[in-house]
Copies of this chain bind each other. A is one copy, B any other.
Amino acid sequence: MKHSLPDAVLISEVGPRDGLQSVKTIMATGDKLKWIDALYAAGLREIEVASFVPAALLPQMADAAAVVKHALTLPGLTVMALVPNVRGAQAALQAGVHKLTIPVSASEAHSLANVRKTREQMVAEVRSIVALRNEVASAVRIEAGMSTAFGCTIQGEVREDDVVWLAEQVIAAGVDESGLSDTTGMANPAQVRRLFNRVRAAIGERTGAAHMHNTRGLGLANCLAAYDVGVRTFDASLGGLGGCPYAPGASGNVVTEDLAFMFEAMGVRTGIDLEKLIAARAPLMAGLPGEPIYGMTPEAGLPKGYVQGAAHV
């Protein structure tokens, strides 16, 4: 295939939220800001910077408002925050975020473990958050991030009909988009293609990001599969930091560095400078001393003769 204009994707960095809330060490606010600055300098233009949850539950996120305040000073950056309920949404909207992401679980068992609500109760919560947004900050976008869409470590298989149903429910409740998350690292490429196609058939262009994990090494293959069926937004985490503390045995977000390298090498534009992205690992490591981080491309280095943006398409 030859395209005169190469495709582009948006890589949405979730490390400062998803990554940091999965590790026990609390990164100091100043270190978070330096890390976010480095991510921004590398070209990332959507960053999930915090979650608005009680500090007693997640002390790693106690400085959410301060982190948002700083992120808002970076021109052109979409500042995202996770909110599990109306109270969190109030705080996030007050802090001035551009976009909210609400976790909803396709698995009833995971929903109860993660947000202590049934799926229907969570849809009602989504509806309340949308009503609040409409009232106080109508320009803010809302995404539902559907956890356990490809399987659940608690209940096992998750029916595809449940995923499609829940996507329809959250769109009916007023969110702008619904993404699909492989919270548990159980997805495979055939399933990714099938399920994104089914969800797109149900909710069309409101189909959101692919949030894949690399638990069994299939993270990039699953992102490729999602790309093949039209997904253009991908969540990833620098150094692969993060997972889900309420999905036992699940670990490993897709590594931003490897994902960005894959797309750039394919001639798909990410807007990311790979060398600066790899450099953004330094402030992450400085802020979380001793925490293991991952990434094959940073370890191997960029290929000999590799010139970013020069890929044949």
Contact = CB atoms under 8 A, between A and B. Distances in A.
A309 interface: no
Contact of A151 (B153, B189, B268, B305): B305
Contacts of A300: 185, 215-216, 249, 251
A165 B214 CA distance: 37
A298 to B, nearest CB: 9
A255 interface: yes
Interface in A276-313: 295-297, 300-301, 303-306, 311-313
Given A221-B224, A258-B216, A265 B296 contact: no
A218 B224 CA distance: 10
A312 B150 CA distance: 12
A266 interface: yes
A76 to B, nearest CB: 28
A108 to B, nearest CB: 15
Contacts of A155: 305
Nearest to A151: B303
A217 B295 contact: yes
**Best-surrounded residue of A156, A188, A215 (most CB of chain B within 10 A):** A188
A263 to B, nearest CB: 9
Given A303-B186, A313-B190, A218 B217 contact: no
Given A217-B220, A295-B217, A191 B265 contact: yes
A26 interface: no
A266 B222 CA distance: 11
Q: What is the size category of the interface that chain A forms with chain B?
A: 35 or more
A203 interface: no
Contacts of A154: 304
A261 interface: yes
A187 to B, nearest CB: 8
Contact of A266 (B152, B189, B252, B312): B189
A228 B221 CA distance: 12
Nearest to A254: B217
A181 interface: no
A86 interface: no
B305 A157 contact: yes
Interface string A188-230: 1111001000000000000000000011111011011100100
What 5 A-B pairs are tightest by C-beta distance, nearest first?
A156-B305, A217-B296, A188-B265, A190-B266, A217-B258
Given A185-B300, A217-B261, A217-B295, 8 more contacts: A154-B304, A156-B305, A186-B304, A189-B224, A216-B300, A221-B262, A224-B225, A249-B300
24 contacts: A1-B194, A153-B303, A153-B304, A154-B304, A156-B304, A156-B305, A186-B306, A188-B265, A189-B266, A190-B266, A190-B311, A214-B296, A215-B300, A216-B258, A216-B296, A217-B255, A217-B258, A217-B296, A218-B220, A218-B258, A218-B262, A220-B221, A221-B223, A251-B300
